[in-house]
Chains A and B, each alone.
Chain A
Amino acid sequence: MKPTGLIFFPAFDWAISPTHPEREERLLYTRDQIFEEGIMDLPQIREYKPRMAEKKDIARVHFCVPDVDAQITEAHLVSAGSSLVIADAVMQGEVKNGFALVRPPGHHAMTVAHGNRGFCNINNEAIMVEYLRKKYGLRKIAIVDTDVHHGDGTQEIFWHDPDILFISFHQDGRTLYPGTGFIEELGGPLAHGSTINIPLPPRTTDMGIHYVLDNLVLPILDEFKPELIVNSAGQDNHYSDPLANMCFSAQGYAILNSKLAPDIAVLEGGYSVETALPYVNMGIIMAMAGIDYSNLREPDYSPTRFKESPGNMEYIKKLVATQLANFRQREEVISRNRKEYKRMYTNYKSIFYDTDGIHEEQSTQLRMCEHCAGYRIIESSAQHPRWGLNRVFCLSVPTYGCPECQKEAERLYEDMTSSRSKYNYVYLQDKVKDVYKSMESALSLETVL
């Protein structure tokens, strides 16, 4: 039996600020626990060294304003790069599956990155998914976001991508950051039903989450038939997490990973640094490596401590039924959308960056392409506290985009960059060619990655 790949990267020399939840201490006790257990000495585990992601890996997903260097620290490159190391190890068959136990996290980072949102600058999972597609030709991938917060960044990045199934369960957005992830959010017009949100009531327990898993997540995965499953593995559903109000346990997390059997797990949130993380991380590693975890528990855990209320259960059952139906109607809805919308589909939104205090206004136009998921035009302006107003114009051609979309986007980029424009920066993200251009208007300076 092949081992499970593991990168443990606690970034002991990086913090958002000294007292921020994303601080050096976050994985300290996890280190103590996994080192003391000696789990990395076992033949079932193979430890890997992290590496830095390349700028191009990031540009494949994000429009970083003004450029990649401005949005990241070296820690972000290492965290994202670690996921790529694990991805390579899995794809090259060195390991049966892998866990990037890394920080900083990424699932709140969206396509256009003006700053830090929800402790995230760049999206580790999305960067990994696009890397896997480019390097290994994968197409259909499922991302299951098990963090207590809605994975709004990942959702946004793959919103128009019918080949990425994004499932997020989380504490209801009415009671928790980022305030999104409702059942109506099902994906763009050509990718309807490949985004599935499962907003759960506060105090949901192992029982509730496992009902969702057994009756919604696993059946959907079965039908979607992804080539690879990614667990966006937040640990803040834990009963002791200080930032949320759920009642999930280390055992619950371990069982979840046994059932889900992700090919790759990437750590996201989880801020109960002493009472949850050491045990939940052990649970995930053990489950992925096929090690019996029946002896694993938090010091204050008892199996009878939390009980799902009948009201909650009722609500969850209804939710599951609704989302199962939504998923199964996806093809029908998409073909209706094709008829209904004209050549371009347009959408407006405002985005707030809590960590950096940035307000962003954004419009997206999607080409309703008959042959592919369609290229996108994103116009975005953001008031940055230090850099002032930035207006950007972004063009994105999807990985499996058609030549028509590719050509049209390229022409638009030429048009936008050859004349004076109101935009500070113009970007072209051509994922087919794997070429990423940006033009700084004031200096007529073009960068190509």
Chain B
Amino acid sequence: MLIGIDVGGTFTDGVLFDGQAVVTSVKHPTDKQNLKTTLLKVLDDLLTVSTGGGISRIVFSTTLVTNLLATESGDNTALLLLPGPGLPLDTYHLFEHTFFLKGSIDFRGRELEAIDKTEVEKAVGAIKGRGIKKIAVVGKFSNRNSSQEQEVRKIIMKRDPQMEVAIGCETAGQLNFLRRIVTTYYSVMTQSAWEDFAREIEKALAERGIQTAVDVLKADGGTMPLQISRSKPCETVFSGPAASTMGAIALTMNPKNSVVLDIGGTTVDISLLIDGHPLYASKGATIQGHYTHINAFSVRSIPLGGDSPINIDQGNIHVESKRRGAAACFGGDYPTVTDVFNQKYQLGIGQPLKSTKKLTKLIKDTGIDMETLCKAVEDIVFNRIQEAIQKMFTEWENEPAYRVWEVVHGRKFNVQEIIGIGAASKAIVPGLAQRMQIKCRIPEYAAVANALGACVARPTLALKVHIDTQNKVFSIDQDGLSGSISAGRSFQMKDAKELAQHHLMEIAKSRGMEQYAGEAEFYLEEQFNVIRGWETAGKIFDIGVQISPGFIKEYQGVSR
């Protein structure tokens, strides 16, 4: 038996899945003050059907970190930055306790300026003086040479062993110093809260006799062991939308170019599948307006849903974004979008008469008839969703390209179907698909697609290896890994790929996901001849290899 739980902003969904069928599903309102309690309540409800011992996998996704970041309620954290020359320092002064240090590395990992030990110690003193116990150390190009970040960490630890220190190259090793700063800072800031949460969950599971390891869902639609997540709390942000998208794929199996619409009470979340693969946000997850190195699905949210109230103001029909309660057909006081679709298409949702009654009351004395109202609301809803979808297509088609091949071949999103999930999709998606003249699918269990998606998602791992054969070094954008290579001139693409593959295997092992290492695919194979004075002095390789989002081996679709 597998369990998936998605702790969302408004509701928490859980499913118990036996490998072929959803045995039971549970929904509770989320207690924002105590996510743990909500999570356990859902878990306990699911466990009334199966015993703890019979559970072979638990995956949950949660908004804990997202909430911490949104409310900026993490731990007080200081930033020690080694920016070197380039953009003005104020560009990197994003957070309050920021200190700039000497020290600089260039794009080939060469040290340009040494660090100044006394300066570091002075900064640590100042940080301590402010009562701060956590420090993020981030250097420009530390992904090409992490020695200065390491050295600064050593100096801090020596001076004050109580300090908790994280360094940029171990948290976010991709190119982009700005995003590395943000990602490292947010990781440090949320780490202890996340650890407390993880510990409590582990304890609670033990109390329930659950022996199996627990995984958490990441923003990239893959899972990681709870244990590993302790050092990477930020990767759990936006895992809710990721759960939904994975659920949509899980429930439809082999969708090609699709639009996934997750229509809930107050929002529509749109994501795209390209050739069956979820589209990633090109600049990473955006947190509090900052780009990050966190791999996340590209999701566009519009404040519109089944519970959006309908209003008529001086003869003008409006769809409001602030929820006033459930739809009239579910006993609400105000008619909503769901009521309109219920009325227009005779969908028989809830108590249809209540939809009609509230809508009739709404148009009374306005001179607007029912047909006009329904048509107008439908147009508003469809237009807003269609506009957002079109924007996503355009943005994707206009992503910058750096190779001739990419520009020549261009990009065009040829949408084949809409997959509707979420509680309100049944009302809205069929009409929308008809208007867009594409087919749609609203799978069974669409209402708990998110929990199911979490439940059957497999682990993911992506790494990029940068190899410089002239300097005989390589560095990896995960965990701050780096090393030297022995072969100089004879080092070829084949060797580069082997090196990448080898390290993927090693990291997979360390995260207990080696059974998926065989599924890894290369997504980037770049090589450059380093020419000095008309002679080849070496090669530079950038190799990307990944275990992309997918499903655990035992998952073959929902059959019953």
Q: Show the binding face of A for B, using Cβ within 8 Å.
A: 7-14, 18-19, 23-25, 28-29, 31-33, 35-39, 41-42, 47-52, 73-75, 78, 81, 242, 274, 278, 282, 286, 291-297, 299
Contact = CB atoms under 8 A, between A and B. Distances in A.
B140 to A, nearest CB: 6
Nearest to A285: B87
B111 to A, nearest CB: 10
Among A13, A18, A81, A278, find the residue whose CB has the most chain B CB atoms closer than 10 A. Answer: A13
Contact of A36 (B176, B405, B534): B176
Interface in B398-427: 398-405, 407-408
B263 interface: no
A295 B175 CA distance: 20
Nearest to B526: A12
Contacts of A14: 404
B230 to A, nearest CB: 28
A74 B531 contact: no
The 5 closest A-B pairs by CB, nearest first: A38-B178, A32-B107, A35-B175, A292-B88, A25-B528
A81 B404 CA distance: 12
A252 to B, nearest CB: 15
Contact of B141 (A36, A39, A41, A286): A36
B408 A74 contact: yes
Contacts of B528: 12, 24-25, 28
A74 B402 contact: no
Interface string B80-121: 000101111101000000000000001110101000000000
Given A25-B528, A282-B86, A299 B106 contact: yes
Contacts of B404: 11, 13-14, 73-75, 78
Contacts of B86: 33, 37, 282, 295-296
A7 B398 CA distance: 12
A32 B533 CA distance: 22
B27 to A, nearest CB: 39
Contact of A9 (B91, B107, B283, B402): B402
A52 B409 CA distance: 10
B88 A291 contact: yes
A19 B534 contact: yes
A99 B531 CA distance: 27
Interface residues of B, number: 41
A49 B405 contact: no
Given A295-B89, A299-B106, A50 B178 contact: no
Interface string B263-284: 0000000000000000000010
Contact of A295 (B87, B177, B405): B87
22 contacts: A11-B404, A12-B526, A19-B535, A23-B531, A31-B402, A32-B141, A35-B176, A36-B175, A37-B86, A37-B177, A38-B177, A38-B291, A41-B178, A42-B91, A48-B400, A49-B401, A51-B407, A74-B404, A74-B408, A78-B404, A286-B87, A293-B88
B81 to A, nearest CB: 12
Contacts of A242: 533
B530 interface: yes
B333 to A, nearest CB: 43
Nearest to A10: B402
Contacts of A47: 400
Contact of B531 (A25, A33, A297): A25
Contacts, number: 121
Contact of A33 (B107, B398, B399, B530): B107
Nearest to A24: B528
A7 to B, nearest CB: 8
Contact of B408 (A52, A286, A291): A52
B529 interface: yes
Nearest to B175: A35
Given A18-B531, A282-B87, 9 more contacts: A11-B404, A28-B528, A28-B540, A36-B107, A38-B179, A49-B399, A50-B401, A274-B108, A295-B88
B536 interface: yes
B279 to A, nearest CB: 16
A381 B421 CA distance: 69
Nearest to B411: A49
A69 to B, nearest CB: 14
Contacts of A10: 402
Contact of B107 (A25, A39, A278): A278
A239 to B, nearest CB: 16
A19 B536 contact: yes
Interface in B502-541: 526, 528-531, 533-536, 540
Interface string B306-336: 0000000000000000000000000000000
B6 to A, nearest CB: 30
Contacts of A25: 528-531, 540
Interface in B363-420: 398-405, 407-408
Nearest to B398: A49
Contacts of A31: 402
A9 B176 CA distance: 18
Contacts of A81: 407
Contacts of A293: 88
B107 A8 contact: no
A282 B107 CA distance: 14
B182 to A, nearest CB: 10
Given A41-B283, A274-B108, A297 B175 contact: no
A293 B398 CA distance: 29
A443 to B, nearest CB: 29
Nearest to B107: A32
Contacts of B398: 48-49
A14 B406 CA distance: 12
